[in-house]
Structure 1
């Protein structure tokens, strides 16, 4: 049950009144949540300890702002400067004392149930990562095995790994800034997959992350599937730009973008990629870099790029970029299907059958892809500061999967400079990221980014894009 201590209060900053109104409330967890220890309470309440309170506050605010789409973490924090959230420990459990929360998270003074669930998922994952994963000798995050084990434990703690269930979880990637036609297409693809009993996992935000879940929900309802999964996987730096959409019924927050990406490929059984911008390019490069590793060449992992007819040129540009930078072998790891949602669903269903048979034959788990080889270059957190962006190895004198790792970092840095609070502030303070490399690599990168800007794929519709990078 949730309680509102006070009615609407606060001031309105512009004509969009509802966005800026706030509510104070004390909120109880919807489901069971372990009682916090005194150490966990101290970590959360003391803002000076590893910035844990600040991290929890920013993620909680993003969840409470769900539906009020923006793609600027700095703007969200500045809009609700007076927002605070405090954990109350009582004899019967815990509650959250919230001040200055976005009014859109409430109906008649009570918090929307789905938002309440997401809010306590934030508490669960932020605390677990801090108390059990980080600085824990059990998890050597400098090794491939230790990082993968950490990702496994975070997913398991969130109850996102389901044993005894046939493979059917499809990861959907794509942009938050897409046209209405592209959004409707993502819904139709999700609908066709839902009719065939497939579940959906996305980055949990708007646009191409929301559409497939919405469509699958209708498909599941028609087939009377009551336990459809709409799994959202995010990380603290991106959650303000991609707040969980209302369709997400399972939310997991990984500590950083690298662990988030590993969670996608370890838990998913296939991937559908819709049109997007720099973030989608980062995801594609991450995925292809892993699939190009010699140890992964025989592991079935269906990948489909798809969109409506008007998006054909977008995928032609992506396909050309991949061929120019990573080569023909990378192009063979996916198929492109334009304007045919039923075919996407049928091909993905067929691909999942191969995944199931392969894992049965090799005795691998259905719920977690242990066999996939992921090099530390794809696991090690990349800090997108000016020095690191200048120092990237962007040349062809390296294996394709190694080049993919470095190209992935280029787009990760651009995402940070576009939407993440710390990235935006770094650009404001030090100017554009400067990206250096050989012309045969940098020219395709420059052309791809220019096409994203021209197609308005770098910011939400109606918002001006100011580049955070300079190609040198």
Structure 2
């Protein structure tokens, strides 16, 4: 039996005795089980696997314990994965990430009762909670340079697309921009990897590679090794709000249904008339050969949300330098707007996010079937409902609870207006055809059925 004790790092090294006692009180809770799984995912950092069962199966005898010390709390690992060690020494980045999980899930999870109804419910309370978690993670420190670029894109992309994400990251890094992604592999890793080279060339020694995850996705997408700041939000909605309030601009690479969910989330927010004056750099980009993907996305947005939604982003194909130059120029507009509004440079308080984009959507067969998928609603509401539909498919593809539901009751059913559902089906089929639903070499069995009966 292998045992390893870890000293606390970062903010967790400065806990009071009362705070340590509260952490220990949580060791037999449902929250602690979630903490254990997230730590196991972190210990598998860099492993190319998007099946939580395959990832966790070899480590049934893995345990994690909290050991109280006068000066704080230690973590003890029992039978941890060998992949996290180099010559019997835990990789330093993994060590840091484990205490980030402790900070976000146990400390902040206790504070906000993540698994209970006492968690924030009002929109302003949710935004305050997002801010508080980022402040505790010290993610707001150094974020006032208006140079944090969020990169969205799929974990299942081909080598040409992956190399392109690295080149874009490199060009952003040369211009002293920091990278924030969903922290996993593929299009989440490439921009960070490229930016490290750009930062090194510019002798930019404080490069930030921020990974934002949430408990049910981190098991399917363990943090990549480049992430130097890991933050785990309690659910997908708060993760998405973190992206748009912490980041100053967004670049979207080719991806699958999860990327479409992110795209619809941001479009729904930007189409709110209260955000009409808000400059928000939003670029879709990929290498030559990815035109089919962006044509499918653009056609879907145009057919469902209209030309106004299409005007919120620009598409740049096979030109990393142009992506970085355009982003740099547009970030200057963001800086001027924040200054004129008196808004913080480190956190976008002035962006209006409606509660429908903040309240957690729990995908079940009942909630998926009940989604309002028709044109007889505002564009923002339609974007919110489409976002939920795609979020449910992500759950059915890679999240433990979603996969369990599909195994027990069959695929989720999406029902709505015939013309709209045909467009949804066409887009999803394009993702399947382009192998964007699961990692290459994995046969994809759809977790959804699209109906046209209403």
TM range (shorter): over 0.9
Deviation for aligned residue 1:73: 2.1
Rounded Cα–Cα distance in structure 1 between residues aligned with 2:266 and 2:293: 18
Looking at structure 2, the residues matched to 54 and 297 of structure 1 have their Cα atoms a distance apart, in angstroms, of: 43
2:22 maps to which residue?
39
Pick from 285, 290, 295 the counterpart of residue 316 of structure 1: 295
Cα–Cα, structure 1 residues 135 and 460, in superposed 2: closer, same or farther, change >3 Å? Answer: closer
- Counterpart of 1:97 in structure 2 is 76
CA distance in 2 between counterparts of 1:433 and 1:77 reads 25
Contact 2:31 2:115 in 1 (8 A): no
SS of 2:312 mapped into structure 1: coil
Q: CA deviation at 1:135?
A: 7.2
3-state SS in 1 of match to 2:150: strand
Deviation string 1:65-111 (CA, Å, 9 cap, x unpaired) is 11112112233233322211111112232211112211000011110
| 2:262 paired residue number | 283
353 and 75 in structure 1: CA distance in 2 versus 1, 3 angstrom threshold: same
Q: In the alignment, what sits opposite 1:409?
A: 388
Q: Does 1:202 align with 2:181?
A: yes
**Which residues in structure 2 correspond to 1:304-343 (within 5 Å)?**
304-343=283-322
5 Å-filtered alignment, 1:33-72, equals 33=12, 34-35=14-15, 36-43=19-26, 45-46=27-28, 49=29, 51-72=30-51
CA distance in 2, matches of 1:140, 1:71: 29
| Corresponding residue for residue 212 of structure 1 | 191
Q: TM-score, normalised by structure 1?
A: 0.92
Q: Summarize the alignment of residues 60-459 of structure 1 with structure 2, pairs less than 5 Å apart.
A: 60-134=39-113, 141-162=120-141, 165-459=144-438
Return the TM-score normalized by structure 2.
0.96
Native 8 Å contact 2:49 2:220 kept in 1: yes
User: 2 CA distance for matches of 1:136 and 1:157?
Assistant: 20
Measure the CA separation in 2 of the matches of 1:142 and 1:403: 22
**Preserved contact between residue 128 and residue 154 of structure 1 (Cα < 8 Å):** no
Stretches of structure 2 that go unaligned for 5 or more consecutive residues are: none
Distance (whole Å) between structure 2 residues aligned to residue 238 and residue 187 of structure 1:
23
* TM-align CA RMSD: 1.5
Report SS of the residue matched to 1:394.
Answer: coil
Stretches of structure 1 lacking an aligned partner (at least 5 in a row): 1-5, 7-22
Question: Alpha-carbon deviation of 1:31?
Answer: 3.6
CA–CA separation in structure 1 for the residues paired with 2:11 and 2:127: 27
**For residues 170-207 of structure 1, what are the alpha-carbon distances to aligned partners after superposition, in whole Å with 9 as ceiling and x for unaligned?**
00000000000000000000000100111100000000
Q: Could you tell me whether the CA contact under 8 Å between 1:30 and 1:113 is conserved in 2? A: no
For the 8 Å contact 1:186–1:212, the answer to whether it is kept is yes
| Number of equivalences | 446
* Distance in 2 separating the partners of 1:314 and 1:322: 13
Instruction: Report the more deviating stretch, 335-344 or 459-468.
Output: 459-468
Q: Please state how far the C-alpha of 1:136 moved relative to its aligned partner.
A: 12
Residue 450 of structure 2 corresponds to residue 471 of structure 1: yes
Deviation string, structure 1 residues 264-305 (Cα, Å, up to 9, x no partner): 000100000000001000000000000001111110001000
TM-aligned CA distance change 1:234 to 1:378, over 3 Å: same
Aligned equivalents of 1:301 and 1:197: distance in 2?
Answer: 19
- Structure 1 distance, partners of 2:146, 2:114, is 33
Aligned to 1:20: none
Which residue of structure 2 aligns with residue 15 of structure 1?
none
State the SS of the aligned residue for 1:248.
coil
3-state SS, counterpart of residue 173 of structure 2 = helix
Whole-Å separation in 1 of the counterparts to 2:339 and 2:319? 31
How far does the alpha carbon of each residue in 1:385-406 deviate from its partner, in whole angstroms, 9 at most, with x for none? 1110000000000000100000
Cα deviation 1:349-398 (Å, max 9, x = unaligned): 01100000001111100000001110110000000111100000000000
Report what 2:4 is aligned to.
25
Going from structure 1 to structure 2, the CA distance change for 1:135 and 1:92 (only over 3 Å counts) comes to closer
Q: Distance in 1 between matches of 2:104 and 2:11?
A: 14
Per-residue deviation, 1:141: 2.1
Instruction: Find the aligned partners of 2:190 and 2:115 in 1 and give their Cα distance.
Output: 38
